[in-house]
A = this chain, B = another copy of it.
Amino acid sequence: MINKIALVGGTHGNETSGIQLIHNWQSEGFSDALSSRYSSLDVSLTIANPDALSANVRFVEEDLNRQFTLEALSNASDAKEAKLAKKLNQQFGPKGNSTTDLVIDIHNTTSNMGATLIILEADDFHIQLARFVKHHMPEANILLEDEKPYLEHGYLCTTGKRGVMIEVGAQPQGVLREDVYLLTQTMAEVILDFCQAYNTDSLEQYAECEVFRLGENIKFPLSAEGKRTAMIHHSLQDNDFAPLIPGAPVFRTFDGKDIEWQEAQETYPHFINEAAYHKLDVAFATATRLML
């Protein structure tokens, strides 16, 4: 049974869709309007980092969504978000021995990733969830980040027995777009619908669905002095999850030359030109495509 669910927004303080959804559901009275639809669920609504939200920044001192490894949680760091992570881990976890059945953490991206469900395990539960989401929301993308065991991730959502992320774009930081907000709300509702159906044994058999499995980060070309020498090519920009085939342009140098995809295999770029990865010079992430 998936009974106790934590729905979280504002893990990054300038990603507005989840923040607004939590605020709206708090003020509309989630217990009234949605409790009949989700009668088997006990859903809490949390803004994770109110100080980052007040300052309209991703984080104040450190990225909160990288603080939830078991190692970091046992460190004595004085950084604001490190201390906040310990508090949230008590609230949702404790990680590895959690009292929360599912943590759903809501994010935005400046990349054109549409409504993306990020799962961290490819077990039966998550495969059923992915198929259910894709069936009820065909425009959704499913991203699988299982390059390491569930508990080794530093994500907030791993404080739960299970944890997933909703990642929706393209939306600039600090801006709320109606289209992105509605996709966020729909995906949150569909995940809760799944949990309700799971609890009441009313899941149907759904078709296999397309899943993108995270590969690696690709960096911008840099000069010897560490300055970028190129930008994302216009034919790649905004084409998250579309196949990038060998020989297709990836970057455009500032002196007007194309740099092409040199690998032997096609890949499925995402997080293309994400603002939050600017400092790291990450241009995009690769993925393989599979059916689950």
A contacts, CB < 8 Å to B? 20, 23-24, 28, 56, 110, 170, 172-179, 181, 227-228, 231-234, 237, 252, 254-255, 273-275, 278-279
Contact = CB atoms under 8 A, between A and B. Distances in A.
Given A23-B227, A24-B254, A56 B278 contact: yes
A172 B28 CA distance: 31
Given A20-B254, A23-B227, A24-B254, A237 B178 contact: yes
7 contacts: A24-B254, A110-B175, A173-B275, A174-B278, A177-B231, A177-B273, A178-B232
A231 B19 CA distance: 14
Contacts of A173: 172-174, 275
Contact of A178 (B23, B231, B278): B231
Given A23-B227, A172-B172, A227-B23, A177 B278 contact: no
Given A28-B255, A175-B273, A176-B228, 9 more contacts: A20-B231, A24-B254, A56-B279, A173-B275, A174-B275, A176-B232, A177-B273, A178-B232, A178-B233
A81 B179 CA distance: 36
B234 A178 contact: yes
- Secondary structure class of chain A's binding surface, majority of residues: loop
Contacts of A234: 178-179
A273 B179 CA distance: 13
A275 B175 contact: yes
Nearest to A110: B172
Contacts of A176: 228, 231-232, 273
A118 B167 CA distance: 36
A255 B20 CA distance: 12
Given A23-B227, A56-B278, A278-B56, A252 B172 contact: no
A232 B278 CA distance: 27
A234 B173 CA distance: 18
B172 A237 contact: no
A12 to B, nearest CB: 13
Residue from A28, A179, A278, A279 having most chain B Cβ neighbours under 10 A: A278
A262 to B, nearest CB: 20
A249 to B, nearest CB: 10
A64 to B, nearest CB: 18
Contacts of A179: 234, 237
A237 B177 contact: yes
Contacts of A174: 173, 275, 278
Residue from A175, A181, A234, A273 having most chain B Cβ neighbours under 10 A: A175
Contacts of A228: 176
A185 to B, nearest CB: 10
A233 B274 CA distance: 25
Nearest to A251: B178
